[in-house]
Amino acid sequence: MKVSWDESVCIHAGKCVQGAPEVFKVEDGKFVIDTSASSEEKIADVVAECPSGALKIE
């Protein structure tokens, strides 16, 4: 599973980092997505909660 993030669309609501902090996190000032850190089901749930549509499952 791969999740893409469109920075120009993200409104920084933080739903992703709150919903699955092990997957969506900021490291060295960069937003990273580690899809190996949780289940596909959990990640899909969090992606569905993104209010801006910046996150997409590929």
Q: Shortest CA distance to 46 belongs to which of 10, 20, 12?
A: 20
12 alpha-carbon distance from chain centroid:
11
Contact characters 29-58, ligand SF4, x per CB under 6 A: ---------------------xxx-xx---
Cβ 28 to ligand SF4 shortest distance, Å: 17
Cβ closer to ligand SF4: 40 or 50? 50
**How many other C-beta atoms lie within 10 A of the C-beta of residue 7?**
8
Residues that bind ligand SF4 (CB under 6 A): 5, 10-16, 50-52, 54-55
